[in-house]
Amino acid sequence: MQISKFFFFLSLALVQNSPFLWAQKTENSQPVTADKNATPATQALFYNMMRGSQKYIMLGHQDGVAYGRTWHNEQGRSDVKETAGDFPAVVGWELGDLELGAEHNLDSVYFSDMKRLIREVYERGSINTISWHANNIATDSSAWDCKQDTVVRSVLVGGVNHQRFLGYLDRLADFFHDLKDKNGNPIPVIFRMYHEHTGAWFWWGAKQCTPDEYNELYRMTVRYLRDVKNVHNLLYAFSTAEITDKAQFLSRYPGNEWVDIVGFDTYCHDTPERVEQYKQIMKTGLDVVTQFAAENNKIAIMAETGQEGIKVKNYYTKVLLPLIKPCKISYVLLWRNAFTIKKHYYIPYPAHPEAKDFIRFTKNSRIILSSKAAKYKFYNY
Ligand code: BMA
């Protein structure tokens, strides 16, 4: 134990003194995690992702090992693997409905299966990122119920729903505590909460609360999980919807001390005009996010993207790849292949006309899947 601790601090010192991180440092700041007491493996994940993002982009897929376009909960399957030969290097998960005490999430993934699969992803040396479409506590309906502009205020300290909301967070904390490897050590994961908040389609959106209220919601959640519930296996990700400039990106940013990872979400529609628009939005967003990450010791990601139904020809190699290839982002997360909504998929199945294009994309030297990602030993310290 003592020896591994020694190596942790030694490697931390080496990492912190590497030329790469010197380049990252601004005058008075060192790269540190939002949770100063994050477990050594969680801190290692932060540094290793940051370092890796200078070299390659990991391919991520939401729910990618829980179900695919034509299957649900079958051991060892993944649409990315079946089409491109390897698992995604990052797997996205969704907690929506966990806060209600449900057994499965809003997309029918059982939390017991999710915990097991998160462990499998971790054991493969890959990375887990978790989003949360939290229910609207004021109306007891979904995250998309955004008719009111008082819900965020109501869950903050002193608000009528504050205590009940802490109950929601208690259930999340239990889930995070349950993520353990075979030796009983906590499995580090990324928590990307209250996302797309610059849009106005969730109860935490830009028309639904003030910037101060949003910031306080974010900080309150970090504080509660970290300081009250002692959850120390999280990296905190902040991701806006599409943005027009840096000012909009930062308009609801809680502050550097609360955030480890920064990104944004945007999707490609299938008409030629919308594809051009997507290219513009992606370029603007990626410029803002990567520059901000480099100047503030954060990790940049493409938090969510894709083309529903993959109707745009050569989307992966002619649209997405040229946009992300020059950027220092750790990963790109493509959205889910829903097994219950026929047109809602973002990764081609093997017989899909765009499968060849997807395979070409995954073979590009900047893109890595699970086996190559494992070589980087993200959790080693
Ligand atoms: C959305 C869609 C929904 C899903 C939600 C949460 O973008 O995929 O079908 O319920 O994400 O995963």
Which three-class secondary structure state does DSSP give residue 84? helix
Task: Provide the residue type at 100 as one letter.
Answer: L
Q: What is the pLDDT of residue 31?
A: 83
Strands 90-94 vs 261-265: parallel, antiparallel or unpaired: unpaired
107 ligand 1 Cβ < 6 A: yes
Ligand 1 centroid–CA 269 distance in Å is 16
Instruction: Please tell me the distance from the alpha carbon of residue 95 to that of residue 109, in angstroms, as a whole number.
Output: 9
Q: Which residue lies with its CA nearest to atom 4 of ligand 1?
A: 107
Band (pLDDT 50/70/90 cuts) for residue 29 is: low
Probe ligand 1: pick from 63, 69, 106, 192, max atoms within 8 Å of CB?
106
Which three-class secondary structure state does DSSP give residue 282? helix
pLDDT in tens, 274-288: 999 999 999 999 999
Q: What is the pLDDT of residue 95?
A: 99
pLDDT in tens, 96-145: 999 999 999 999 999 999 999 999 999 999 999 999 999 999 999 999 99
pLDDT in tens, 204-219: 999 999 999 999 999 9
Ligand 1 centroid–CA 193 distance in Å is 14
Instruction: Please tell me the distance from the alpha carbon of residue 304 to that of residue 282, in angstroms, as a whole number.
Output: 11
For this structure, is 308 an active site residue? Answer: no
Report the atom number in ligand 1 closest to the C-alpha of 304. Answer: 7
The CA-CA-CA angle for residues 6, 7, 8, to 5°, reads: 90
For this structure, is 276 an active site residue? Answer: no
Query: Cα–Cα distances in Å, from 319 out to 263, 273, 322, 328, 353?
Result: 19, 13, 6, 17, 16
Contact present, 148 and 203 (Cβ < 8 Å): yes
Residues 6+ apart with CB under 8 A from 324: 57, 282, 286, 302, 332, 366
Res 247 pLDDT > 60: yes
Q: What are phi and psi of 122, to 5 degrees?
A: -60, -45
106 ligand 1 Cβ < 6 A: yes
336 ligand 1 Cβ < 6 A: yes
Closest CA to 77 of 97, 91, 95: 91
Closest CA to 146 of 70, 200, 71: 200
133 ligand 1 Cβ < 6 A: yes
Across 245-274, b (16+ Cβ under 10 Å) vs e yields: eeebbeebbbeeebbbbbbbbbbbeeeeee
Candidates 94, 99, 196, 216; catalytic one: 196
Task: Provide the residue type at 304 as one letter.
Answer: E
Candidates 99, 213, 242, 304; catalytic one: 304
pLDDT in tens, 322-377: 999 999 999 999 999 999 999 999 999 999 999 999 999 999 999 999 999 999 99
61 ligand 1 Cβ < 6 A: no
